[in-house]
Amino acid sequence: MNSTTRSTSQNAISKDETLTSAPIPAVLVLADGKVFRGFGFGKTGTTLGEAVFTTGMTGYQETMTDPSYHRQIVVATSPQIGNTGWNDEDDESHGSKIWVAGLVIRDLAHRVSNWRAARSLPEEMEKQGIVGIRGIDTRALVRHLRNFGSIAAGVFSGEAAERPVEELLAEVKAQPSMAGLDLAEDVSTTEPYTVLAEGEKKFTVVAYDMGIKTSTPNNFAKRGIETVVVRANTPYEDIKQYNPHGVFVSNGPGDPATADKMVAITRDILASGIPFFGICFGNQILGRALGLNTYKLKFGHRGINVPVKNHLTGKIDITAQNHGFALENPAGEGKPAGGAEFDTDFGPALVTHTCLNDDVVEGVALKSGMAFSVQYHPESAAGPHDANPLFDQFIQLMDDHK
């Protein structure tokens, strides 16, 4: 560690060593009338969104900068947050933007203790205008969300928290529901950009940015892949200029039932015979292109410890996930989804992966092998690396059809 890094980290620690300032009153209000009172941190003010929870015990910086969390107030089940501060290397959004609408935690660390920390979590949240609430019983809150599902919510701190609860509840209820929201273009790049291959270039991949995490093109780059990242809903005719060997559709926020443009583009890609790989939102896009419907999960899958079975190999991976919608089971309600086959306009397809917690569809593929997708994050930032070989599977597919 060089002297500059050490000095920066020590400054961050000294600034956040104790919570000496007077606590700022804050309140979390759920649309069903449930109220949790605590103390504000980060920006003081008001934020609205859908209350969801994540079970990850680490990686709050990666979570907060993941564009898939756009319009969501994230509740951390891990009881202490902020102990590793905030660094300049782990952001998952292009431009280092925090995308969560708000953050709900139990305990805020009194001290930053990580050699890479450049500042504290509250400092970064205040800088980017993110409202947080601490000091609430997150166990009770998470149990409530598990029982009743993800729900519209608002965090109000400072003077906003002193308003009558009836007024705050009305404001929370007035916000649009996550179901039916098309959010991909909100988080997508405005202009195409290229992430160069490391070492010898093997292939060119066009990646549709539905809310892409920086770790994804970095994983491609390490494998000799040049990635051209394009805006969501870029027509297929427009990506031909890059002569791609493969097309990738990323993770992202919003309701996949609204993504008709991207579904039509994906159908054009499949008809062209270009190898296709999708993750998370990209899995739902491929599924819809193959004729499946989507639905909203009760409380979603968000964390870095979700078990998934690969029905092609029998292998079980522990995966990182963040999704509130899923593909319907083509076998029908009440029947096992794993391995279920179904007909498409592009040949027979099947369900390749399912979640072992609830049998939710976690992956689909054409039996020809030309297109496949998974509902989780093989780049796993933060999270386990069990699913990382999916990048190699895509490269092998491109190699076989170059």
All structural domains of the chain = 3-174 (3.50.30.20), 184-400 (3.40.50.880)
pLDDT at 124: 98
Q: Is 324 annotated among the ligand-binding residues?
A: yes
Distance of alpha carbon 164 from alpha carbon 127, whole angstroms: 28
252 close to 68: Cβ distance less than 8 angstroms:
yes
Contacts for 275 with CB less than 8 Å, ≥ 6 apart: 245, 246, 247, 370, 371, 394, 397, 398, 401
Distance of alpha carbon 31 from alpha carbon 388, whole angstroms: 38
49 close to 72: Cβ distance less than 8 angstroms:
yes
For β-strands 246-249 and 225-231, DSSP reports them as unpaired
Token digits for 374?
């998974």
Distance of alpha carbon 7 from alpha carbon 37, whole angstroms: 37
Whether 280 is a known active-site residue: answer yes
Task: Collapse the DSSP code of 387 into the 3-class scheme (helix H, G, I; strand E, B; otherwise coil) and give the result.
Answer: coil
pLDDT at 19: 56
pLDDT at 277: 98
Angle of the 260-272 helix axis to the 281-289 helix axis, nearest 10:
70
pLDDT at 7: 35
Q: What are phi and psi of 167, to 5 degrees?
A: -65, -45
Task: Collapse the DSSP code of 9 into the 3-class scheme (helix H, G, I; strand E, B; otherwise coil) and give the result.
Answer: helix
pLDDT at 382: 72
Q: Which of 92, 280, 301, 353 is catalytic?
A: 280
Q: Across the strands, what pairs with 134?
A: 39
Q: Is 305 annotated among the ligand-binding residues?
A: no
| The dihedral sign for the CA sequence 230, 235, 240, 241 | negative
Helices (H) and strands (E) in the chain, counts: 11, 20
Q: Is 391 annotated among the ligand-binding residues?
A: no
Nearest to 357 by CA among 341, 371, 376, 373: 376
pLDDT at 387: 72
Along the 402 residues of the chain, how does pLDDT read in single tens digits? 343 333 333 333 444 444 557 899 999 999 999 999 999 999 999 999 999 999 998 999 999 999 999 999 999 999 999 999 999 999 999 889 999 999 999 999 999 999 999 999 999 999 999 999 999 999 999 999 999 999 999 999 999 999 999 999 999 999 999 999 999 999 999 999 999 999 999 999 999 999 999 999 999 999 999 999 999 999 999 999 999 999 999 999 999 999 999 999 999 999 999 999 999 999 999 999 999 999 999 999 999 999 999 999 999 999 999 999 999 999 999 899 999 999 999 999 999 999 999 999 999 999 999 999 999 988 766 767 777 889 999 999 999 998
Whether 328 is a known active-site residue: answer no
Q: Across the strands, what pairs with 230?
A: 208
Strand segments, DSSP code E, in 280-387 are 294-310, 316-327, 341-342, 349-355, 361-366, 371-374
Q: Locate tokens 């794993």: which residue?
A: 338
Q: Is 281 annotated among the ligand-binding residues?
A: yes
Distance of alpha carbon 358 from alpha carbon 306, whole angstroms: 10
Q: Is 10 annotated among the ligand-binding residues?
A: no
Q: Which of 50, 124, 362, 379 is catalytic?
A: 379
pLDDT at 152: 98
Q: Is 322 annotated among the ligand-binding residues?
A: yes
